[in-house]
Amino acid sequence: MSGLERQQLFGALILLVTALFIAAGYAPAARWRRPLRGAAIGFFGLALLVALAEIALGAPDSGP
Protein backbone atom coordinates (compact mmCIF):
# COMPACT_ATOMS: atom_id res chain seq x y z
CA MET A 1 0.00 0.00 0.00
CA SER A 2 1.47 3.31 -1.01
CA GLY A 3 1.66 6.39 1.17
CA LEU A 4 -1.12 8.10 -0.77
CA GLU A 5 -3.46 5.14 -0.28
CA ARG A 6 -2.73 5.15 3.47
CA GLN A 7 -3.50 8.85 3.67
CA GLN A 8 -6.75 8.32 1.79
CA LEU A 9 -7.68 5.48 4.15
CA PHE A 10 -7.07 7.64 7.22
CA GLY A 11 -8.96 10.51 5.62
CA ALA A 12 -11.93 8.24 4.91
CA LEU A 13 -11.92 6.96 8.49
CA ILE A 14 -11.87 10.49 9.89
CA LEU A 15 -14.72 11.51 7.56
CA LEU A 16 -16.71 8.50 8.77
CA VAL A 17 -16.09 9.45 12.40
CA THR A 18 -17.17 13.03 11.69
CA ALA A 19 -20.34 11.89 9.92
CA LEU A 20 -21.23 9.58 12.81
CA PHE A 21 -20.74 12.34 15.39
CA ILE A 22 -22.89 14.72 13.33
CA ALA A 23 -25.58 12.07 12.91
CA ALA A 24 -25.55 11.42 16.66
CA GLY A 25 -26.51 15.07 17.22
CA TYR A 26 -29.26 15.08 14.60
CA ALA A 27 -32.63 15.43 16.41
CA PRO A 28 -34.67 12.90 14.36
CA ALA A 29 -31.94 10.31 15.01
CA ALA A 30 -32.31 10.62 18.79
CA ARG A 31 -33.15 6.93 19.06
CA TRP A 32 -29.77 6.05 17.51
CA ARG A 33 -27.73 8.69 19.36
CA ARG A 34 -25.89 6.33 21.73
CA PRO A 35 -25.06 3.63 19.11
CA LEU A 36 -23.88 6.27 16.62
CA ARG A 37 -21.70 7.96 19.22
CA GLY A 38 -20.27 4.59 20.26
CA ALA A 39 -19.51 3.70 16.64
CA ALA A 40 -17.81 7.06 16.10
CA ILE A 41 -15.62 6.59 19.17
CA GLY A 42 -14.82 3.03 18.13
CA PHE A 43 -13.80 3.99 14.59
CA PHE A 44 -11.74 6.88 15.93
CA GLY A 45 -9.95 4.47 18.26
CA LEU A 46 -9.34 2.10 15.35
CA ALA A 47 -7.86 4.88 13.23
CA LEU A 48 -5.68 5.99 16.13
CA LEU A 49 -4.40 2.46 16.79
CA VAL A 50 -3.61 1.88 13.12
CA ALA A 51 -1.75 5.20 12.89
CA LEU A 52 0.25 4.49 16.05
CA ALA A 53 1.05 0.96 14.91
CA GLU A 54 2.28 2.30 11.58
CA ILE A 55 4.51 4.80 13.37
CA ALA A 56 5.81 2.21 15.84
CA LEU A 57 6.60 -0.36 13.17
CA GLY A 58 8.17 2.24 10.92
CA ALA A 59 6.18 1.14 7.91
CA PRO A 60 8.46 1.44 4.89
CA ASP A 61 7.39 3.93 2.29
CA SER A 62 7.66 3.13 -1.39
CA GLY A 63 9.74 6.21 -2.10
CA PRO A 64 12.81 8.10 -0.91
Asked whether the whole model's pTM tops 0.95, one would answer: no
Helix or strand (DSSP H, E) at 22:
helix 3-24
With a CB cutoff of 8 Å and minimum separation 6, the contacts of 23 are: 29, 32, 36
Tell me the residue type at 62.
Answer: S
Ordered by start, the domain boundaries in the chain are 27-57
Q: pLDDT tens digit string along 10-51?
A: 888 888 888 888 888 888 878 888 888 888 889 889 888 988
Helix or strand (DSSP H, E) at 60:
none
For helices 33-57 and 3-24, give the axis angle rounded to 10 degrees: 160
Helix (H, G, I), strand (E, B) or coil at 25: coil
